[in-house]
Amino acid sequence: MATETIGGFGLLLLLVLMILRVPVALAMLLVGVGGFATIIDLGAAVSMLKSVPVEVLSNYSFSAIPMFILMGVLAAHSGMAGKLFQSARVICGGWKGGLAIAAVGSCGVFSAISGSSLATASTMTRVALPEMERYGYHRGLATGALAAGGTLGIMIPPSIALLIYAILTEQSVGDMFMAGLVPGLLGLVLYALTVSVVMRVKPDLAVAGEATGWGEKLASLGGLVPFFAVFLVMILGIYLGIFTPTEGASVGAFATLIYALVKGLRARELWSAVQETLALSAVVFFMLVGAEALGYFISLSRISFSISDSLFAMELTPFVVVLCILAMYFLLGMFMDSIAMLVITVPVVFPIIQSLGIDPVWFGIVTVLTVELGLITPPVGMNVFVIKAMAPHVGLGEIFRGVSPFIVSDFVRLALLLLFPTLSTLFLL
């Protein structure tokens, strides 16, 4: 049997295992090791199984992942999120739909620290949803704004998704972070505009908040200082070459820890934060081990190169190929976790991108943005289910209806990045 055929059967088996609810990391590991044994032999597969975990766990670049996770967990446990939302609420003042805009803005700022969409969505829901419900906001609008705002964590640096893409494709982590800055901020602006448009179309969905004077607005900026201080230290440090992204993750985690301790974080809460970080990091690293094994198998089967040759034979333009890949990501995003989707598909599609001469940094940004859409699209929008878990009194259908205008906004952002690639390369080192 040809190696390409074995590769195709392996990917099909991977999909079957995931449909059968086998954990994604385990499914990738089984297919990777099994496929490797089929093409070469069992002894070689066992040797690969022994070496892959060591390669992943000893990779210096991967050490940034638990640091970013710790930073987000500490930010959630220290009460930073509450102060952030209150500041945003005062700044938005008496605007119609101001609380929803404040929630989106708070999600964007918090995601710059947490690096995780799910962490952002869960934390900000606890803080912002009760306030919006108290002011009589429609539950669909309130939960939809929080679910969409939570997705900004996957794009605004430091992003764990961008970090994983950079490592898997051997791109500069600093370049990926800087490339994600403008698209992330663009998403924040478009979400705020989406709330304003919804308010014009359906003004009965929300009421104006309490009007605030300019003095109160300026005084409230103090709640934003911790976030911007940590964010600027990390981003400017990376941009100016003072430290590497991995070192930047450590600096950010340490700065967040100091803030949390100053604000009264107790030893019990610190230990809980460390445990949560270890649990989340273990999940991510298990997926990376599985992805590494799967990548070896895919490379050995040469299925990516076969697909590349087929595309060349079809004489499709690179832009059309990118659109086809993004369509695949959009469909997969309806059923799969974002990180899992990246680690499974990147080893397959990246050689195709390379062969077509497409900028890997730009492709990474549009890929992550498309993956981001999967977090809020039915039937399996992970952010939506996080919101549902935090607000069990709100129906899933209600949340999905509330988030639908923001999905349109994301398609507008994706179109802008496809038409104007310089938006993602504006601040590259």
**For 98-146, how does the pLDDT look when each residue is reduced to its tens digit (9 = 90+)?**
888 888 888 887 777 776 677 777 778 888 888 888 878 888 888 888 8
Contact between 8 and 297 (Cβ < 8 Å):
no
In a domain, 41, yes or no: yes
φ and ψ of 371, to 5 deg:
-60, -40
pLDDT at 52: 84
Give the closest residue to 145 by CA, choosing from 109, 113, 188, 112. Answer: 188
**For 347-370, how does the pLDDT look when each residue is reduced to its tens digit (9 = 90+)?**
778 888 888 888 999 999 999 888
* Three-state SS letters, 84-125: HHHHHHHHHCCCECHHHHHHHHHHHHHHHHHCCHHHHHHHHH
In a domain, 307, yes or no: yes
In a domain, 165, yes or no: yes
In a domain, 89, yes or no: yes
pLDDT at 335: 65
Q: How many CB atoms lie within 10 A of CB 376?
A: 27
Total count of domains within the chain: 1
In a domain, 429, yes or no: no
DSSP state for residue 374 in the 8-state scheme: T
Q: Give the integer Cα–Cα distance in Å for 326 and 358.
A: 14
Q: What range does the domain containing 334 cover?
A: 3-424
In a domain, 284, yes or no: yes
Q: Give the integer Cα–Cα distance in Å for 384 and 115.
A: 18
Q: Give the integer Cα–Cα distance in Å for 417 and 383.
A: 23
**Mean pLDDT in each 10-residue stretch from start to end of the chain (429 residues)?**
78 81 82 86 84 82 81 78 77 75 83 72 81 83 87 81 85 85 89 89 75 73 76 80 81 86 84 86 82 80 71 77 84 71 80 86 90 77 78 84 91 92 76
Q: What angle do CA 380, 386, 389 make, to 5 degrees?
A: 110
DSSP state for residue 202 in the 8-state scheme: -
pLDDT at 69: 81
Count Cα neighbours of 90 within 13 Å in the Cβ-side half-sphere: 17
pLDDT at 98: 81
How far out from the chain centre does Cα 35 lie? 30
